[in-house]
Amino acid sequence: MLLKAIPMGEMMTSRQFRLGFRLLAVLLALGLVAAACGEDDTGTSAADTAALQQAQADAATAQAAADSAAAAAADAAAALEDAIAEGAADSEAIAALEAELAAAQEAAAAAAAAAEEPMEEAMPELSGELVWWSDWTIEQTEAFIDAFNEVHPGIQVEYTRSDDAEMFDRFMTESEAGTIDADIAIIGWDGFSRIWESLGYLHAFDSPNKGNIPSDLRAASGAWYTYGTLLEGICYNTERIEELGLDPLETWSDLADPQYRDEIVMQDILKVGSGAHDMMIETRVMWDENTWEEFWAGYGANNVVFQPDYTAAQQQLVQGNFAVLGLCYLDFVQPSIDQGAPVVWVAPEFVITVGFTVNIPATSDNKENAEAFVNYIISEEGQAAVANIVGQVPAWPDAPYPQAALAAAGKPTILALGTPKAEAEYNNNAEWYVERAKEWFDLR
């Protein structure tokens, strides 16, 4: 086809020779694509080691073909553009170039699609159990399991949920005793994961999807991966605010306003590792010492009512028993808002963010299934589920952004225990903050 496309009644010009050379590259790339996309004739079971090795080799070949096809398509496009611009080829040659370009682009698209297929499809179908310790809501956890099972239908996921501080303590105790039953633990704050990693309590592996996660958001060893970020602000119940004639809140300092006395509920501030405990640390990082002292003294004077955990505190707000939730997790409260709860999440003058990690205990009985879970949650599909189901901001920079989180757009943020000062305060003075809270809130 190439020789017929170029007039043969005269000697080819150097320009025509260069065009022909580029088209030859296109044809060679098409041959690579055809070979890479052909049927696998190994005849072996996908569960065999040999088949897995062949699948890896096929994936590498497909990627090479995709790269070659993309380069060939780019060359064909350049050849056509040059030919049209310089008028160096007749209409027959131009038509041939256009046809070859279309074929190259089609082949490149097919090769790219083949190369993007996840490795899980080449692996043996997984089955068995997976025990997940979750700190998400029940609704979020179950919806995410459904999404995970679309990829791995043979894995039966069981879960329990708890707040982060409780989960951390349980993980530490049971790991030390060798009795932990979890295969996956999702927890807020990578500092917990770093502690577990340093003690040898985590199973490290090199996820094929690790490239989706920035290197500073995952362990170099592969022991843990940050999959998303939670946003912390303030919530208020619009009906109760209106009923009592209170002003809607806008800033952290509003929590110390006497008009909200007896109307604020919050999670246990004395529990080290809780969001409320961390709030004392982060505000001290952001404010000068006088502002910090005045705020917490005023906040404490408002007769804040504390609940055993975050979930219980949020439920009190949603039910209208209180006007204000002093520390509110966007991803947790958004499902209630979507269901019609008269609640507004406020992004204050700075938003506290918390990186959430996925971890595999070193003693997991189902490591293969656990690795599949990690691979899924940091895959492109899993990161979309983090945004759309969980409502957290995914760690993958190109993932969709949760609509509700746009309320925080443009606001300064501070990563929970993500500054040297905050981390030092947590590591060295955690109990000092507990004593100050007892003083402010009269909890002695």
Helix (H, G, I), strand (E, B) or coil at 439: helix
Mean pLDDT in order along the chain per 10 residues (444 residues): 31 36 41 44 46 67 78 81 71 79 80 60 81 95 98 98 94 97 96 96 97 96 97 98 98 98 98 95 97 98 97 98 98 95 97 97 98 98 97 95 90 92 95 98 93
Tell me what pLDDT residue 39 has. 40
Using CB atoms within 10 A of its CB, is residue 208 exposed (0-12), middle (13-18) or buried (19+)?
A: middle
Sign, CA torsion 66/67/68/74: positive
The secondary element (H helix, E strand) that includes residue 151 is helix 138-151
Q: Which residues of 248-257 are buried (b: 16+ CB within 10 A; e: fewer)?
A: ebeebbbbbb
pLDDT digits (tens, 9 = 90+) for 44-94: 345 545 655 676 677 678 778 877 887 887 887 887 777 777 765 577 777
User: Token pair of 226, please?
Assistant: 């940050």
Class of domain 126-228+355-392: alpha beta
230-354+402-440 shares the fold of 126-228+355-392: yes
Tell me what pLDDT residue 248 has. 98
Tell me what pLDDT residue 437 has. 98
Name residue 365's beta-bridge partners.
none
- Helix then strand count (H, E) for the chain reads 15, 11
Domain ranges of the chain: 2-117, 126-228+355-392, 230-354+402-440
First to last CA, the chain: 90
CA triplet 118, 405, 185: central angle to 5 degrees? 50
Rounded Cα–Cα distance for residues 76 and 18 (Å): 11
Rounded Cα–Cα distance for residues 236 and 260 (Å): 11
Report the CATH fold assignment for 230-354+402-440: D-Maltodextrin-Binding Protein; domain 2 (3.40.190)
Tell me what pLDDT residue 124 has. 67
Using CB atoms within 10 A of its CB, is residue 245 exposed (0-12), middle (13-18) or buried (19+)?
A: exposed
Contact at 8 Å (CB) between 103 and 25?
Answer: no
Q: Where are the beta strands (DSSP E) in 279-350?
A: 305-307, 324-329, 343-346
